[in-house]
Chain A
Amino acid sequence: MAGDYILETERLTKEFRGFVAVNGVGLRVRRGSVHALIGPNGAGKTTCFNLLTKFLTPSAGRILYNGRDITRAAPADVAQMGLVRSFQISAVFPHLTLLENVRVALQKKRGKSFDFWRSERALDSLNDRAAELLAEVGLAEFAHLTAVELPYGRKRALEIATTLALEPELLLLDEPTAGMGHEDLGRVVALIKRVAANRTVLMVEHNLSVVADLSHTITVLARGEVLVEGDYAAVSKNPQVIEAYMGSGHA
C-alpha cells in the first residue's frame, strides 16, 4: 500500500479489431503527484483512461492500483477503491439539479442506496456538503438549476465537483478544461491545484500552459505508445515530441 507509485501499468495494450490503440504502455503514477498525459488526437489517451477505469478490458498487460491487480475488476468496484474519473465529453445528469448531481455522488458514501421504501428526505443531510462542493467550483448560485441549463464550461465544473464528492484517492481527468472560456479555465486550474494538494491526479490535457503550470510529470503518448516521459522542461525540448505533438497542429 505504501509504495511510491499509486498506479502502475505493465505493457498495457488495447486492440480494436486489429487496430492497436494502446500499445505496450507502461505508466507509473507517483503518489501525490499531478501527472499529465498528453499527445495528439487519436494517440490513445482516452482509451488509456477507459482501460484504467475498467470501461474497457485490456487485450494484454496488467494494471496495479495501490499494489493491487485491478486488471479484471469491475468499473464500479475500482471507483469504490478510490480511482474515479471524469469524461472527455462532459458527463452530468442533465435533468437533475446541480445539487442533486453532486448529491448522487455523496450518496455513494452512505453505502448501497437500495432503500426504496424511504423518503428522499433521508438525503437532506447531504445537502450542506453538496452546496459546499458547488461553491468550490463557483456554482453555488445555480444549485437549483438543472444541469442541462448550464453552459458547457460550467458543466465541466459541475462534473469535477461531482467527482470530488467521492473524495477519490486518484483522480483521472480527461481534458478538464476543454471548451472552457478564460474565466472558467482559471477557476478550474486553481481548483485542480487545490484538490491535488492531498491526492494524486492523472489528467489528459491539451492546453500546454495548463500542463506546464500543474504537472510534475508528463507522459507523451503517440500512436498508442509512450514517446517520452519527464518534467515539462525535459519533455518540451524533446525533438520527437516537438515533431509528433506540435506537428499535428498544436501550438
Chain B
Amino acid sequence: MARDTAPRAKNGYRHQYAIFAFMVALFLVLPYVIYPVFLMQALCFALFACAFNLLIGYTGLVSFGHAMFLGAAGYISAHAAKVWGLPPELAILAGTAASAALGLVVGLLAIRRQGIYFAMITLALAQMIFFFSLQAKFTGGEDGIQSVPRGVMFGILNLQDMMTMYFVVLAIFLAGFLLICRVIHSPFGQVLKAIRENEPRAISLGYNVHQYKLIAFVLSAALSGLAGGTKAIVFQLASLTDVHWTMSGEVVLMTLLGGMGTLFGPVVGAFIVIAMQNYLAQLGSWVTIAQGVVFVICVLAFRRGIVGELGRFLKKPL
C-alpha cells in the first residue's frame, strides 16, 4: 500500500518500458528465425487488434464492424499504388486517411447509441461497405485488387526486398503502437478512462462524452486503416476477406484472447490467431473449429485474456 503522500500521480507502468524494449528486440531478431511473411501478416493484424483495443478496452465501445476500416483502407491503398501510381508511403497514408474519414461518418451515426445498439449499427454499416466493395468497379469484386506494386518507399527503400519490407512494416507497427500508448497515457486518455469507469459521473463533471468517444473512434478507425493499407502493400492484394464480417469477428477474438484493456494483449492475441491459421492450415475448414475450441478454452480458463491474467498474477498492468 502506497503511503507516499507527495502530490504526484503514481507512475505504475514503468515496467511497460522494459516489456516494450523486449518486444522490439524480439521483433528485430525474429525475421532471421521465422519466415518474415508470416511476421508481417501478424504485425499488421497486431496493429489492427491494438487499434480495436483502443476502442473496446480503453473506451468501452464494442464495434462489430471494424473490418470496414481495415478493408476500405486496403482498397484505397491498393488503388492508389496501382492505378494512381503513388509511392507506398502515400498509398498507405491515403488508405489511413480514408478510414479516418469513414470512421468519422460511422462514428457520428453510431456514437450516441449504447452497448448492443452501437455494435449493431457498426455491423450494419460494415455490411454496407462489404456490399459496396462487392459491387463497385474499382474494388474488383470477387477478385479484389491484385498485383499491387510494392514500390520504393521515400524513394530509397525498395520494398521488393523482403527484409526491407519487414523492417518497414515493423516501423509502422511500432509507430502505431507507440501512438496508442501515448493516447492512453494522455490527458485525453484520462478522460476516456473516466468515461469508461463511470459515464454518468463524467457527464456530471461537465464532459461532453460523445465528443471524446468520437475522437477515440476516429483514432481507432485511422489506425485500423494504417494496418489495412500496410497489409495491402505487403501482400500486394486488397480483397473482400478484409471487409468481411468474419474479419470483424476475428479482431474481437484476437483482442479478447490476448486481453482487452491491456497494452500487449492484442499483440499476443493476434500472433496466436495468425499462427493457428497458418500452422493449422492443413486442417482445412477445421481451422475454424480448432480456433473456436481454443477460444472457448481460453475464455473459460482466462477470462481476462492471456496477458490480462498474467498482469493480474504479477499485479501489474501489462
Chain A residues in contact with chain B, CB under 8 A? 53, 55, 74-77, 79-80, 84-87, 91-97, 99-100, 103-105, 107-108, 110, 112-120, 122-124, 127-128, 130-131, 140-141, 143-145, 162, 166
Residues A120 and B203 in contact, CB atoms below 8 Å apart: no
Measured CB to CB, the closest approach of chain A to B180, in angstroms, equals: 10
Alpha-carbon gap, A146 to B19, bound state (A): 24
List the one stretch of B159-167, B189-197, B230-238 in contact with chain A. Answer: B189-197
Measured CB to CB, the closest approach of chain B to A216, in angstroms, equals: 25
Residues B190 and A100 in contact, CB atoms below 8 Å apart: yes
Alpha-carbon gap, A113 to B188, bound state (A): 5
Residues A93 and B194 in contact, CB atoms below 8 Å apart: yes
* 26 examples of A-B residue contacts, CB within 8 angstroms: A74-B208, A76-B208, A79-B205, A85-B204, A92-B198, A93-B201, A97-B9, A103-B190, A104-B205, A108-B207, A116-B188, A117-B186, A118-B187, A118-B188, A119-B185, A120-B187, A122-B187, A123-B187, A127-B8, A130-B7, A131-B7, A140-B5, A141-B3, A141-B5, A145-B1, A166-B205
Closest to A122 in B: B187
Residues A114 and B188 in contact, CB atoms below 8 Å apart: yes
In the bound complex, residues from chain B placing their C-beta under 8 Å from that of A112 are 211
In the bound complex, residues from chain B placing their C-beta under 8 Å from that of A86 are 204
Alpha-carbon gap, A130 to B190, bound state (A): 15
Measured CB to CB, the closest approach of chain A to B168, in angstroms, equals: 23
Measured CB to CB, the closest approach of chain A to B66, in angstroms, equals: 19
Residues A127 and B7 in contact, CB atoms below 8 Å apart: yes
Q: From residue 76 to 118 of chain B, which have CB atoms closer than 8 A to chain A?
A: none
Known: A75-B203, A80-B206. 9 other contacts (CB 8 A): A55-B203, A85-B204, A96-B197, A100-B9, A113-B190, A116-B186, A120-B185, A122-B187, A166-B206
Residue pairs across A and B with CB atoms within 8 Å: the count is 129
Alpha-carbon gap, A108 to B207, bound state (A): 7
Measured CB to CB, the closest approach of chain B to A168, in angstroms, equals: 10
B interface SS class: helix
Is B202 among interface residues, defined by CB-CB distance under 8 A?
A: yes
Chain B interface size range: 35 or more
In the bound complex, residues from chain A placing their C-beta under 8 Å from that of B9 are 97, 99-100, 103, 120, 123-124, 127
Closest to B180 in A: A116
The listed residue (B8, B187, B197, B215) touching A110 by CB distance below 8 A is: B187
A91-B201, A94-B198 known; A115+B186 contact, CB < 8 A: yes
In the bound complex, residues from chain B placing their C-beta under 8 Å from that of A80 are 206
Measured CB to CB, the closest approach of chain A to B187, in angstroms, equals: 4
Is B182 among interface residues, defined by CB-CB distance under 8 A?
A: yes
The listed residue (B1, B8, B182, B187) touching A107 by CB distance below 8 A is: B187
A76-B206, A116-B219 known; A131+B5 contact, CB < 8 A: yes
Is B10 among interface residues, defined by CB-CB distance under 8 A?
A: yes
A79-B204, A79-B205, A119-B182 known; A143+B187 contact, CB < 8 A: no
In the bound complex, residues from chain A placing their C-beta under 8 Å from that of B200 are 55, 87, 91
Per-position 1/0 for B207-239, Cβ under 8 A of A:
111011001000100000000000000000000
Residues B198 and A124 in contact, CB atoms below 8 Å apart: no
Alpha-carbon gap, A144 to B189, bound state (A): 19
Residues A128 and B194 in contact, CB atoms below 8 Å apart: no
Alpha-carbon gap, A127 to B188, bound state (A): 17
Interface centre among B2, B4, B219, by most chain A C-beta atoms within 10 angstroms, is B2
Closest to A74 in B: B208
